[in-house]
C-alpha cells in the first residue's frame, strides 16, 4: 500500500534515510496498523518544516494532504471545522470572500492546518492574538490504539495542550475546530518605519504595537559593523472596506531546478539586502496593499528553497526573554557579522506576554529573530552552536519546527517540560527530530 | 443553476469534479458506497458553494437497486443536467487471471454496473430531450495488455457501449461524453511509482468540466494521451503481442 521514498524537509539538507509513504484520504479510516516495530508513524502535511521534525527515516510518513475537506462552517460566528490537511491558502480562498480570515498566519500560506497546530505557529500579530493554538476550540486526535478523542480545553485537556505544539507526536490530528477572525476585505494598510539600530527598533516597535495588529521587522544582516541592527519595521492593519488590491496570482515565478551551488553568498546577500532596503525606504511609507505580499512574500517565488543549492540551508529562529533581548540579539548579529556568513532574510518580532496554549509551544515573552544560512558544513554549524550558547545564556529557546541540529541537552534546557510530552506521546509515533533531541546523552 | 448527479462520488476524480460544480453553485446528488466518506464529501461541497447536496448510499453491484436510487436522485434535484459515472476499482490482474469468479466480479463493478446505470439514465433523459451523460472509462480500454487486461477490457467495453449510445441518441438532444483519463495520482493508484505522465485528479476534473460545457464526444485527459494512444492503437497485433507495456 505504499512505496519508500526519500523525503526532504523545506531546508533540503541532505538526508540518507527513506520512509514508507502512506496517503491518508479519509478521516474515518483506521491508522495503518503495521506500524509498531517498523520505525513508527509520523503525519506529514505540506513539508514546510525546515528541519527534521517532519521526517521519520526508516518509519512511515502519513501524508495528510488528501484530508482537505471542510466539515462545518458557521458564517455567522466564523467557527470553522475542517480536516487537518487543508492548506491555509485553500482556507483563505474559501473563507475570505465570506469575510473571515485565519486568526494567525505565518510567513507562508502553504502549510496545513494540522501542521499549524502541531507547531503552534505564530504570526505578526502575536502581541495581540497569541499563537495559532489559542484559537483552536477542539480537535480530534486518532491514537494508534484505535481511540478517537475529541480534545478541547475541557475534554482530554492534557492531551489537547500536549497536541498544540506537540510536533505531531501525540497521534494523528484528523480534524480541527478553529475560530476565524472577521475582516471586511483582503487589503492591508501598511506602514514602514526605518530604524538605525536595535535600541530604536525596540522604541519604535513599542509604539507600533499600540497602533497595529501586525508588526514585524526586517534586519539588514549585510550592514557594515557601524550600522549593525538597522532595518525596517513593517506594520499593518486589516483595511476597512472590500478588497481593492489584486494579488499577483499563484506563484508566477519559480526556481525551476536546483543550481549546482548555493546562489546565496556574500556578494548576493549584500546586493539583496541593499536592494531590499532601498526598495522599502524609497517607496511611500504608508500604502494599502493586498494581504498576500504583506503576509506571504516568499510564496511569490515557488521552490525558493532551491536557491541554496544541493546542500540546502539551515533556518535558525530563537526567542530571547525581554530583559536580555537587546543585548543578546545584538550579540547574535555581531557573531553573524564576524562569521562572514550573512543571512538572506533576518526577521525580528516581539512576542506578547500571553500564556502559551501548548505544552511545548515556542512562543514566550521576549523577542524572536529568524535567520537563514546556506549549509556550508562545519562553518555553519559552528556558528549556530555559538548562537545556541548566546540563546542558552540569555534563557531563551530555539524553534523546533525550524531546527535540524540543536543538541539534546540544549533542547532539554529550552523545553524542560519535554518529559511530559514524552509521557503523552503516542507510543507508535516518532520523528527524526524527537529521536535526535531526546535520545542523545546529556 | 445546474443539476449534477455523480455516481462514485467519493472517487478522487469525482470529488475534484464535484468541487468545480459546487463553485458554480450547482445542485448535486451524490451516490457512493461508503456512507461516512459520502457524508464527508457532501458536507465539504455544501461549504464550497453548492446550492444543495443530496446523498444516496449504493454499492454499484446492487443491480436491483439501480433504478430506484437513480430515480430518487433525479427527483431530489427535480431533473438532471449532467450525470457523471465515475465509480470503479483497479482489479488485481494476477488475482483475476487465476480466478474466473474474480474476473466476473470486477467486470460487474467496472463494466456491467456502469452499462446498467447508463442505460437507465439514457432512458430517463431521452424523453426530456436535454442533458449530458459522462462516463469515466480509460486509455487502458484502447488496447489489451498483459498487465491489466481485465480492467482494460471492462473499460474498453464501456467505451464501445458509449459510442453506440451516442450514435443512438444523436439528434435527441442528449449529449454522451466518453472520458478517457491516462495515469492519475489517486488512492486507486497509490501503489504505483509516479512519473512525468501522471496527472492530478484536479487537472482531470477541469478537463471533464470543460468537455461537458463544450459538449465534446470523447476526451483524452490530459490531452497528450490522444497522440500517444493513436500510436499505440496503430501498432499491429503481431508486434504488440511481443511488447511489455
- Is residue B188 classed as helix, strand or coil in its secondary structure? helix
The closest alpha carbon to A306, from A368, A349, A274, A262, belongs to: A262
CA distance A117 to chain B (A): 21
pLDDT, tens digit, 9 for 90 and up, residues A199-208: 999 999 999 9
> Residues of chain A with pLDDT > 90: what percent?
74
Residue A2 — very low, low, confident or very high, per pLDDT cuts 50/70/90?
very low
Answer whether residue B245 is part of any domain. Answer: no
DSSP 8-state class, residue A128:
H
Chain B residues whose C-beta is within 8 A of a chain A C-beta are 12, 36-37, 40-41, 43-44, 47-48, 187, 190-191, 193
Give how far Cα A299 sits from Cα of A110, A239, A265, A292, B240, Å: 8, 22, 22, 8, 48
Annotate B56-70 with b (16+ C-beta within 10 A) or e (fewer). Answer: bebebeeeeebeebb
Q: What number is the average pLDDT over the span B76-88?
A: 97
In this predicted structure, what is the pLDDT of residue B195? 84
**d(Cα A168, Cα A152) in Å, to the nearest integer?**
16
Of B37, B43, B191, the CB nearest to A71: B43
Instruction: Please give the tally of structural domains in chain B.
Output: 1
Q: What backbone torsions phi and psi does residue A248 show, to the nearest 5 degrees? A: -80, 5
Contact B187 A1 (CB under 8 A): no
Q: What number is the average pLDDT over the span B13-40?
A: 98
Residue A1 — very low, low, confident or very high, per pLDDT cuts 50/70/90?
very low
Q: Which residues of A touch B12 (CB under 8 A)?
A: 25
Please report the sign of the dihedral spanned by the C-alpha atoms of residue B180, residue B184, residue B187, residue B188: positive
In this predicted structure, what is the pLDDT of residue B245? 75
The closest alpha carbon to A93, from A27, A186, A183, A176, belongs to: A186
In this predicted structure, what is the pLDDT of residue A146? 93
Answer whether residue B123 is part of any domain. Answer: yes
- Is residue A114 classed as helix, strand or coil in its secondary structure? helix
pLDDT, mean over chain A: 91
Q: Which residues of A touch B47 (CB under 8 A)?
A: 70, 72-73, 94
In this predicted structure, what is the pLDDT of residue B131? 97
Question: Does residue A240 carry a pLDDT above 90?
Answer: yes
Q: Which residues of B touch A2 (CB under 8 A)?
A: 190-191
Answer whether residue B16 is part of any domain. Answer: yes
* CATH code of the domain covering residue B92: 3.40.50.720
**d(Cα A170, Cα A43) in Å, to the nearest integer?**
10
Which neighbouring-strand residues pair with A317?
Answer: A370
Contact B191 A1 (CB under 8 A): yes
With a CB cutoff of 8 Å and minimum separation 6, the contacts of A395 are A320, A321, A324
Please report the sign of the dihedral spanned by the C-alpha atoms of residue A180, residue A182, residue A183, residue A184: positive
pLDDT, tens digit, 9 for 90 and up, residues B136-146: 999 999 999 99
Please report the sign of the dihedral spanned by the C-alpha atoms of residue A44, residue A46, residue A52, residue A57: positive
In this predicted structure, what is the pLDDT of residue A336? 92
Cα A334 to the center of its chain, rounded Å: 25
Exactly one of B151, B161, B183, B225 is catalytic; name it.
B151
Which neighbouring-strand residues pair with A366?
Answer: A351
Answer whether residue B57 is part of any domain. Answer: yes
Domain residue limits at B41: 3-240
Residue with cell 501598511: A190
pLDDT, mean over chain B: 96
Tell me which fold the domain A187-407 belongs to: Alpha-Beta Plaits (3.30.70)
Give how far Cα A198 sits from Cα of A231, A330, A331, Å: 9, 7, 11
Please report the sign of the dihedral spanned by the C-alpha atoms of residue A175, residue A294, residue A289, residue A200: positive
Answer whether residue B95 is part of any domain. Answer: yes
Residue A249 — very low, low, confident or very high, per pLDDT cuts 50/70/90?
low
In this predicted structure, what is the pLDDT of residue A280? 67
DSSP 8-state class, residue A358:
S
* Residue B151: active-site member: yes
C-alpha cell at A353: 506576554
DSSP 8-state class, residue A356:
P
Amino acid at each position: 500500500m505504499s512505496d519508500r521514498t526519500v523525503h526532504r524537509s523545506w531546508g533540503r539538507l541532505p538526508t540518507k534515510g527513506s520512509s514508507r509513504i502512506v496517503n491518508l484520504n479519509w478521516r474515518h479510516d483506521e491508522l495503518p496498523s503495521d506500524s509498531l516495530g517498523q520505525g513508527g508513524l509520523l503525519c506529514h502535511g505540506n513539508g514546510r518544516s525546515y528541519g527534521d521534525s517532519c521526517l521519520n527515516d526508516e518509519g512511515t510518513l502519513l501524508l495528510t494532504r488528501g484530508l482537505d475537506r471542510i466539515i462545518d462552517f458557521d458564517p455567522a460566528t466564523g467557527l470553522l471545522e475542517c480536516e487537518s490537511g487543508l492548506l491555509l491558502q485553500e482556507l483563505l480562498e474559501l473563507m475570505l470572500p465570506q469575510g473571515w480570515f485565519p486568526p494567525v498566519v505565518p510567513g507562508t500560506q502553504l502549510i496545513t492546518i494540522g501542521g499549524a497546530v502541531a507547531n503552534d505557529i505564530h504570526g505578526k500579530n502575536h502581541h495581540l492574538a497569541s499563537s495559532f493554538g489559542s484559537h483552536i476550540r477542539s480537535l480530534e486526535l486518532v491514537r494508534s490504539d484505535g481511540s478517537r478523542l475529541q480534545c478541547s480545553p475541557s475534554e482530554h485537556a492534557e492531551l489537547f495542550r500536549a497536541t498544540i505544539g506537540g510536533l505531531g507526536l501525540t497521534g494523528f490530528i484528523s480534524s480541527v475546530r478553529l475560530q476565524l477572525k472577521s475582516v471586511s476585505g483582503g487589503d492591508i494598510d501598511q506602514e514602514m518605519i526605518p530604524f538605525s539600530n536595535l535600541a530604536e527598533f525596540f522604541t519604535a516597535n513599542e509604539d507600533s504595537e499600540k497602533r497595529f495588529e501586525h508588526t514585524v521587522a526586517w534586519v539588514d544582516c549585510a550592514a557594515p559593523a557601524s550600522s549593525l541592527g538597522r532595518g525596517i519595521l513593517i506594520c499593518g492593519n486589516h483595511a476597512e472596506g472590500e478588497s481593492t488590491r489584486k494579488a499577483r496570482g499563484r506563484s508566477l515565478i519559480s526556481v525551476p531546478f536546483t543550481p549546482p551551488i548555493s546562489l546565496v553568498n556574500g556578494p548576493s546577500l549584500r546586493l539583496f539586502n541593499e536592494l531590499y532596503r532601498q526598495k522599502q525606504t524609497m517607496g511611500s511609507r504608508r500604502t494599502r496593499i493586498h494581504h498576500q505580499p504583506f503576509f506571504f512574500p516568499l510564496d511569490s517565488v515557488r521552490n525558493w528553497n532551491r536557491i541554496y543549492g544541493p546542500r540546502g540551508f539551515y533556518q535558525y529562529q530563537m526567542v530571547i526573554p525581554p530583559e536580555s533581548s537587546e543585548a543578546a540579539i545584538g550579540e547574535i548579529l555581531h557573531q553573524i557579522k564576524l562569521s562572514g556568513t550573512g543571512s538572506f532574510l533576518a526577521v525580528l518580532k516581539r512576542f506578547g506576554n500571553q500564556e502559551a496554549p501548548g505544552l511545548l509551544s515556542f512562543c514566550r515573552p521576549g523577542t524572536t529573530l529568524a535567520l537563514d544560512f546556506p549549509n556550508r558544513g562545519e562553518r555553519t554549524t559552528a556558528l549556530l552552536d555559538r548562537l545556541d550558547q548566546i540563546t542558552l545564556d540569555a534563557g531563551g529557546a530555539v524553534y523546533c519546527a525550524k531546527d535540524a541540529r540543536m543538541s539534546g541537552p540544549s533542547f532539554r534546557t529550552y523545553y524542560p517540560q519535554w518529559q511530559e510530552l514524552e509521557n503523552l506521546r503516542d507510543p507508535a509515533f516518532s520523528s527524526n527530530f524527537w529521536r535526535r533531541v531526546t535520545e542523545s546523552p546529556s | 443553476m445546474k443539476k449534477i448527479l455523480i455516481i462514485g462520488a467519493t472517487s478522487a476524480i469525482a470529488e475534484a469534479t464535484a468541487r468545480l460544480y459546487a463553485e458554480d453553485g450547482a445542485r448535486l446528488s451524490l451516490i457512493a458506497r461508503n456512507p461516512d466518506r459520502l457524508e464527508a464529501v457532501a458536507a465539504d461541497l455544501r461549504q464550497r458553494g453548492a446550492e444543495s447536496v443530496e446523498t444516496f448510499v449504493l454499492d454499484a453491484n446492487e443491480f436491483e437497486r439501480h433504478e430506484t436510487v437513480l430515480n430518487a436522485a433525479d427527483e431530489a434535484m427535480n431533473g438532471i443536467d449532467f450525470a457523471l459515472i465515475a465509480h470503479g476499482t483497479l482489479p488485481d490482474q494476477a488475482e483475476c487471471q487465476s480466478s474466473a469468479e474474480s474476473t466476473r466480479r470486477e467486470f460487474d463493478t467496472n463494466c456491467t454496473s456502469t452499462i446498467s446505470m447508463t442505460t437507465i439514465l439514457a432512458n430517463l433523459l431521452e424523453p426530456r430531450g436535454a442533458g449530458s451523460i459522462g462516463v469515466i472509462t480509460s486509455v487502458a480500454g484502447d488496447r489489451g495488455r498483459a498487465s491489466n487486461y481485465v480492467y482494460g477490457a471492462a473499460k474498453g467495453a464501456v467505451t464501445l457501449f458509449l459510442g453506440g449510445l451516442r450514435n443512438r441518441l444523436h439528434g435527441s438532444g442528449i449529449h454522451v461524453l466518453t472520458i478517457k483519463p491516462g495515469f492519475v495520482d489517486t488512492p486507486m493508484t497509490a501503489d504505483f511509482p509516479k512519473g512525468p505522465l501522471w496527472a492530478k485528479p484536479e487537472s482531470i476534473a477541469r478537463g471533464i468540466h470543460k468537455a461537458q460545457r463544450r459538449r465534446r464526444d470523447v476526451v483524452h485527459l490530459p490531452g497528450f494521451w490522444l497522440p500517444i494512444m493513436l500510436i499505440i492503437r496503430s501498432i499491429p497485433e503481431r508486434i504488440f503481442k511481443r511488447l511489455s507495456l
